[in-house]
């Protein structure tokens, strides 16, 4: 062998050794992260292993030992076939990885390029597009949107006489509009137009989107409000909504594996994960279709959503103005009502300020969170109705590994109560149209379930307050006669009120 051949052989062996060092392959896992050769790559690989083996519950019981959990084992526990994770550190994507399969019973692995439905994380991305037009003078945050809407108007009533629906209020869920969320449309079902959705006309499967409270008075989550935003952007541009989003946000941020096109075109569908119900079976037709694009229609990857979060972090620090200026990003992350910004939920203050949003579509659950000052954050996307508690277990593992100030388990004490009181709590509680939480008693134990989370046991903290190990808290509300009339649900960082309907 001549010197040139020896050199080439040694070089190939060196490259293969480095690749093995920075790209460890294990059963059920695939993915990538920026190449960091030598010790730095080994350090990132070690962090990934600790995250994968350090999942933490939302709640620990006082006196019990906290035992971190393994990611693959928790996927099996929750019947989550596949998921994708992207971790942001020091203002950059540090690693991204896929786990499991795109559809149960099939062997196509989830990778960092597998598409998931972002569900309600569609909203902050759409909000960024709306603010893009505000900065260019085509929209105003505090003007009556009816003055700009062309093809449809919000019906006026006794509430809009007092205050007007504005873009600021639409983006911050304080416009007084109805319709919390949407169930989507199964393959083969007739698809409504946006106008039919706005007016609740067949074949739309959701009620009319109407003002039922004084705009600006209170915070009330409204996917319906984002349908109005969708119509507004289409009216001012004369373009289809997916094209608007592609040109204003997705392409400029390099979100090349993202689209708002509904239904999903065939060339994209080959890269998409199938949604799964809580029993592990695939959603009929693989997924639902969401013509409510601004509210729930984004198909994307964890890596692309990380790019979105990184742009917000960079723009906040004045390091980028690819889509929005520093001034507008600061408005986006300023609380408008009840710690809600323009499209994003907010937590913490100062250097601990963070933005976050979750998503829940049929068969998909996801979560994004990031800190503006420290350049840290993460995105978790799953293809299961059971994915929310798993996603948060992963977020808590990442938080501990990367020394975040939040997302730590909360210690609780189980109270002793007479199971006879559970009889008064049994029933159905309505958060909004089609959003029902069912409380049941089984062998002196209390359980809750809904179409967006699996059956979970409720443990007593007092006679009226209960919690689950996955972070759900429920307080039963009684009237002056001691009759249970509703519940207050605390999940994540917000409270939701539901009335008892039976």
Query: Is the pLDDT reported for residue 377 higher than 70?
Result: yes
Under 8 Å between Cβ of 289 and 263: yes
> Residue 496: its pLDDT value, please?
82
The C-alpha atoms of residue 275 and residue 266 are separated, in whole angstroms, by 16
| Alpha-carbon distances of 92 from 99, 303, 472, rounded to whole Å | 21, 11, 32
Q: Under CATH, which architecture does the 116-408 domain have?
A: 3-Layer(aba) Sandwich (3.40)
> Residue 251: its pLDDT value, please?
98
Question: No. of H helices and E strands in the chain?
Answer: 14, 19
CATH fold of 413-500 reads Lipocalin (2.40.128)
pLDDT tier, 490 (very low <50, low <70, confident <90, very high otherwise): confident
pLDDT digits (tens, 9 = 90+) for 160-192: 999 999 999 999 999 999 999 999 999 999 999
Query: Is the pLDDT reported for residue 33 higher than 60?
Result: no
What would the mean pLDDT of 67-87 be, rounded to a whole number?
Answer: 96
Query: Is the pLDDT reported for residue 407 higher than 50?
Result: yes
The C-alpha atoms of residue 382 and residue 20 are separated, in whole angstroms, by 27
Question: Long-range contact list for 440-444, CB < 8 A, 24+ apart?
Answer: 444/419
> Residue 469: its pLDDT value, please?
86
> Residue 36: its pLDDT value, please?
39
CB half-sphere exposure, 428, CA atoms < 13 A? 10
> Residue 451: its pLDDT value, please?
73
In the block, tokens 């950059």 appear at: 92
Residue ranges per structural domain of the chain? 116-408, 413-500
> Residue 470: its pLDDT value, please?
82
Phi-psi region of 403 (alpha: psi -120 to 50; beta: other; left: phi over 0): left
What would the mean pLDDT of 61-77 be, rounded to a whole number?
Answer: 92
Between 495 and 386, residue with greater pLDDT: 386
For the ranges 28-32, 155-159, 180-184, 371-375, which has the lowest average pLDDT?
28-32
Between 117 and 411, residue with greater pLDDT: 117
The C-alpha atoms of residue 214 and residue 68 are separated, in whole angstroms, by 47
> Residue 39: its pLDDT value, please?
54
H helices of 79-183, in order, are 122-135, 158-162, 167-171
Under 8 Å between Cβ of 246 and 323: no
pLDDT digits (tens, 9 = 90+) for 202-234: 999 999 999 999 999 999 999 999 999 999 999
What would the mean pLDDT of 56-84 be, rounded to a whole number?
Answer: 93
Query: Is the pLDDT reported for residue 14 higher than 60?
Result: no
Nearest to 470 by CA among 47, 69, 29: 69
What would the mean pLDDT of 278-292 be, rounded to a whole number?
Answer: 96
Query: Is the pLDDT reported for residue 19 higher than 90?
Result: no
pLDDT tier, 4 (very low <50, low <70, confident <90, very high otherwise): very low
> Residue 450: its pLDDT value, please?
87
> Residue 380: its pLDDT value, please?
98
DSSP per-residue string spanning 390-423? HHHHHHHHHHHHTT-SS--PEEE-PPP--GGGGG
| Displacement of CA 227 from its chain's centroid (Å) | 18
The C-alpha atoms of residue 332 and residue 341 are separated, in whole angstroms, by 5
> Residue 393: its pLDDT value, please?
96
| Alpha-carbon distances of 458 from 309, 425, 436, 439, 444, rounded to whole Å | 34, 11, 16, 9, 11
Cβ burial 219-232 (10 Å sphere, 16+ → b, else e): ebbbbbbbbbbbbb
Under 8 Å between Cβ of 357 and 345: yes
**Dihedral sign from CA coordinates of 69, 72, 75, 76:** negative
> Residue 31: its pLDDT value, please?
56
Contacting residues for 350 by C-beta, under 8 A, at least 6 apart: 373
Nearest to 257 by CA among 90, 379, 133: 379
> Residue 494: its pLDDT value, please?
73
User: Phi and psi (nearest 5°) for 297?
Assistant: -100, 5
The SS3 assignment for 167 reads: helix
User: Mean pLDDT score of the chain, rounded to an integer?
Assistant: 91
Nearest to 414 by CA among 480, 463, 363: 463
What would the mean pLDDT of 11-16 be, rounded to a whole number?
Answer: 36
The C-alpha atoms of residue 41 and residue 486 are separated, in whole angstroms, by 52
DSSP per-residue string spanning 74-86? HHHHHT--EEEEE
Q: Which two tokens stand for residue 379?
A: 């995105």
pLDDT digits (tens, 9 = 90+) for 420-479: 999 999 999 998 777 899 999 999 999 999 877 778 999 999 999 999 988 889 999 999
Nearest to 313 by CA among 353, 263, 258: 353
Question: Long-range contact list for 478-485, CB < 8 A, 24+ apart?
Answer: 483/424, 484/424, 484/425, 484/427
> Residue 42: its pLDDT value, please?
93
> Residue 23: its pLDDT value, please?
35
> Residue 16: its pLDDT value, please?
33
| Displacement of CA 158 from its chain's centroid (Å) | 34
Q: Which two tokens stand for residue 445?
A: 């134990």
What would the mean pLDDT of 97-108 be, rounded to a whole number?
Answer: 96
Q: Where are the beta strands (DSSP E) in 90-164?
A: 92-100, 116-117
**What is the pTM assigned to this prediction?**
0.86
Bridge partners (DSSP) of residue 226 are none
pLDDT digits (tens, 9 = 90+) for 232-271: 999 999 999 999 999 999 999 999 999 999 999 999 999 9
The C-alpha atoms of residue 391 and residue 397 are separated, in whole angstroms, by 10
Do β-strands 453-460 and 445-450 pair in parallel, antiparallel, or remain unpaired? antiparallel
Q: What percent of the chain has pLDDT over 90?
A: 84
Do β-strands 92-100 and 82-89 pair in parallel, antiparallel, or remain unpaired? antiparallel
């Amino acid at each position: 062998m001549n010197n040139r051949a020896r050199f080439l052989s040694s070089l190939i062996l060196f490259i293969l050794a480095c690749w093995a060092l920075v790209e460890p392959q294990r059963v059920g896992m695939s993915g990538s992260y920026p190449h960091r050769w030598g010790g730095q790559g080994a350090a990132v690989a070690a962090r990934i292993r600790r995250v994968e083996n350090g999942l933490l519950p939302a709640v620990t019981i006082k006196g019990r030992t906290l035992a971190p959990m393994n990611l693959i084992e928790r996927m099996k526990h929750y019947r989550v076939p596949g998921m994708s994770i992207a971790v942001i550190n020091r203002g950059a994507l540090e690693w991204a990885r896929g786990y499991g399969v795109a559809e149960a019973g099939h062997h196509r692995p989830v990778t960092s390029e597998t598409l998931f439905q972002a569900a309600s994380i569609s909203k902050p991305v759409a909000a960024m597009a709306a603010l893009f037009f505000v900065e260019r003078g085509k929209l105003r945050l505090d003007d009556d949107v009816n003055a700009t809407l062309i093809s449809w108007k919000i019906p006026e009533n006794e509430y809009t006489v007092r205050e007007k629906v504005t873009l600021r209020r639409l983006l911050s869920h304080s416009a007084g509009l109805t319709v919390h969320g949407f169930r989507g449309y199964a393959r083969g079902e007739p698809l409504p137009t946006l106008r039919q959705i706005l007016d609740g006309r067949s074949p739309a499967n959701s009620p009319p989107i109407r003002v039922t409270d004084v705009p600006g008075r209170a915070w009330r989550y409204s996917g319906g409000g984002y349908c109005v935003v969708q119509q507004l952007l289409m009216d001012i541009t004369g373009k289809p909504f997916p094209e608007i989003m592609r040109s204003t946000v997705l392409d400029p941020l390099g979100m090349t594996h993202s689209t708002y096109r509904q239904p999903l075109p065939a060339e994209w569908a080959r890269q998409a994960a199938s949604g799964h119900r809580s029993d592990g079976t695939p959603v009929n037709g693989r997924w639902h279709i969401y013509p409510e694009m601004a509210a729930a229609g984004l198909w994307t990857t964890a890596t692309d959503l990380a790019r979105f979060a990184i742009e917000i972090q960079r723009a906040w620090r004045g390091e980028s103005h690819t889509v929005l200026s520093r001034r507008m990003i600061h408005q986006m992350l300023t609380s408008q009502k009840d710690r809600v910004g323009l499209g994003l939920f907010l937590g913490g203050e100062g250097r601990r300020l963070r933005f976050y949003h979750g998503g829940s579509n049929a068969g998909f659950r996801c979560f994004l969170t990031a800190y503006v000052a420290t350049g840290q954050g993460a995105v978790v996307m799953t293809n299961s109705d059971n994915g929310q508690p798993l996603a948060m277990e992963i977020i808590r593992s990442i938080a501990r590994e990367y020394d975040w100030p939040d997302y730590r388990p909360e210690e609780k004490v189980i109270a002793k109560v007479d199971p006879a009181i559970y009889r008064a709590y049994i029933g159905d509680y309505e958060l909004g149209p089609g959003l029902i939480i069912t409380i049941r008693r089984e062998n002196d134990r209390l359980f809750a379930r809904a179409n967006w989370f699996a059956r979970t046991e409720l443990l007593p903290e007092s006679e009226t307050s209960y919690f689950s190990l996955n972070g759900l808290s429920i307080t039963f509300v009684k009237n002056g006669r001691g009759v249970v009339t509703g519940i207050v649900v605390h999940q994540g960082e917000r409270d939701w009120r539901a009335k008892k309907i039976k």
